[in-house]
């Protein structure tokens, strides 16, 4: 600015002091305005540059945001695997084993059968055949672990295809394999005739209460009815009624040929109904009277439990 004042001073012609002073003042004012204008212009340019930079930055941010929005990868919701349907396994109802009677009846374990004036034929699940003569009485003992039956009166002819057991008041008659044999009860003891096969006939022992048993055979129908009542009650899950009927049978007919079955059924009824102590006592009595009885293992398990 000092250079500009010097140039103006040299270029100005000599004038009067007052006029020169006025011009000088106007020149200074003009220079001041010029400087002010330049400063305002500079500030404007600075603001423009700052505004432009901000605008550019905003534009970049908007562009980046728009790009991100348009190119954003939408997360794919994971669909949980559809659980596979359970494989339906066909339920096979267990086969109920039974003995077919020639009169159309079906017998199961512990079912008794008595013939009157007509003979009957029994066919077991293994196809073993038993022919009963008139006035005979039997009971089906086992059909699962072995095929066995009790003969307490009359006569039967057995034609078996595998192991078979006939329980009698005097002992068990046992076929180890296929065989044909005849068993007849005479005076409370079995007489055995073997036609084919290997049949074991143990030494005959008198049954418990042998003398009383002979007397009780005349009341066998009543004994059978009491045992059947107990079995029917068992099938209805009425153990109290079963025990009552068995108590009557055992106390009224202590020498009954059905005594072993009655003892076994009462022992089982006691245990099913939660009367364990009485079941143990009954098991001990059973083992004492029937040490080789068909339920001896079951009775022993109760006693030592």
Provide the pLDDT confidence category of residue 171 given band limits of 50, 70 and 90: confident
CA distance 208 to 228: 22
Same domain? For 194 and 215 the reply is: no
The stretch 130-141 carries a mean pLDDT of 91
What's the residue count for the chain? 305
In the three-class reduction of DSSP (H, G, I as helix; E, B as strand; rest coil), residue 22 is classed as helix
Question: Is residue 94 in some structural domain?
Answer: no
Question: Is residue 191 in some structural domain?
Answer: yes
Is pLDDT of 234 > 80?
A: yes
pTM, entire model: 0.40
Residue 132 has a pLDDT of 94
Same domain? For 244 and 157 the reply is: no
The stretch 164-188 carries a mean pLDDT of 89
Question: Is residue 66 in some structural domain?
Answer: no
Provide the pLDDT confidence category of residue 159 given band limits of 50, 70 and 90: very high
Question: Is residue 69 in some structural domain?
Answer: no
Same domain? For 114 and 154 the reply is: yes
Q: Which residue has the higher pLDDT, 50 or 115?
A: 115
Same domain? For 194 and 243 the reply is: no
Report yes or no: 173 and 190 within 8 Å, Cβ to Cβ.
Answer: yes
Same domain? For 189 and 247 the reply is: no
CA distance 272 to 74: 67
CA distance 82 to 35: 82
Q: Which of 85-99, 230-244, 259-273 is predicted least confidently? A: 85-99
Residue 12 has a pLDDT of 47
Question: Is residue 214 in some structural domain?
Answer: yes
Same domain? For 217 and 244 the reply is: yes
Residue 68 has a pLDDT of 57
Supply the mean pLDDT for the chain: 78
The stretch 169-174 carries a mean pLDDT of 87
Same domain? For 186 and 222 the reply is: no
Neighbours of 73 (CB within 10 A): 5
> Among the three residues 139, 174, 200, which one is the final residue of a domain in this structure?
200
Question: Is residue 30 in some structural domain?
Answer: yes
Provide the pLDDT confidence category of residue 100 given band limits of 50, 70 and 90: very high
Provide the pLDDT confidence category of residue 138 given band limits of 50, 70 and 90: very high
Same domain? For 150 and 220 the reply is: no
Single out the residue of 174, 170, 175 nearest to residue 153, CA to CA: 170
Q: What is the CATH number of the domain that holds 221?
A: 1.25.40.10
Residue 142 has a pLDDT of 74
Same domain? For 108 and 141 the reply is: yes
Residue 40 has a pLDDT of 72
Is pLDDT of 111 > 50?
A: yes
Q: What is the CATH number of the domain that holds 176?
A: 2.60.120.1440
Same domain? For 196 and 215 the reply is: no
Same domain? For 187 and 251 the reply is: no
Question: Is residue 68 in some structural domain?
Answer: no
CA distance 242 to 235: 9
Domains contained in the chain, number: 3
Same domain? For 104 and 195 the reply is: yes
> Among the three residues 165, 200, 235, which one is the final residue of a domain in this structure?
200
Structure tokens at 290: 């029937």
Residue 35 sits in which domain range? Answer: 2-58
Residue 211 has a pLDDT of 47
């Amino acid at each position: 600015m000092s250079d500009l004042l010097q140039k103006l001073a040299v270029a100005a012609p000599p004038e009067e002091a007052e006029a020169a002073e006025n011009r000088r003042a106007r020149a200074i004012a003009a220079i001041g305005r010029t400087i002010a204008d330049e400063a305002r212009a500079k500030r404007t340019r600075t603001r423009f540059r700052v505004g432009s930079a901000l605008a550019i930055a905003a534009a970049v941010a908007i562009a980046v945001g728009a790009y991100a929005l348009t190119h954003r990868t939408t997360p794919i919701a994971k669909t949980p695997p559809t659980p596979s349907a359970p494989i339906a396994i066909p339920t096979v109802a267990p086969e109920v084993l039974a003995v077919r009677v020639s009169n159309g009846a079906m017998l199961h374990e512990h079912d008794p059968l008595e013939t009157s004036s007509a003979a009957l034929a029994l066919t077991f699940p293994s196809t073993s055949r038993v022919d009963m003569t008139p006035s005979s009485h039997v009971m089906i003992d086992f059909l699962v672990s072995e095929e066995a039956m009790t003969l307490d009166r009359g006569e039967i002819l057995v034609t078996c295809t595998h192991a078979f057991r006939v329980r009698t008041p005097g002992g068990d008659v046992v076929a180890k394999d296929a065989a044909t044999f005849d068993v007849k009860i005479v005076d409370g003891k079995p007489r055995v005739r073997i036609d084919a096969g290997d049949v074991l006939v143990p030494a005959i022992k008198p049954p418990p209460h042998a003398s009383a048993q002979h007397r009780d055979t005349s009341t066998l129908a009543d004994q059978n009815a009491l045992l059947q009542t107990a079995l029917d009650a068992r099938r209805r899950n009425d153990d109290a009624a079963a025990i009552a009927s068995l108590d009557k049978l055992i106390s009224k007919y202590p020498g009954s040929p059905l005594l072993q079955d009655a003892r076994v059924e009462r022992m089982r009824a006691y245990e099913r109904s939660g009367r364990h102590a009485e079941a143990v006592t009954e098991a001990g009595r059973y083992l004492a009277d029937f040490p080789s009885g068909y339920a001896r293992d079951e009775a022993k398990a109760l006693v030592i439990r």
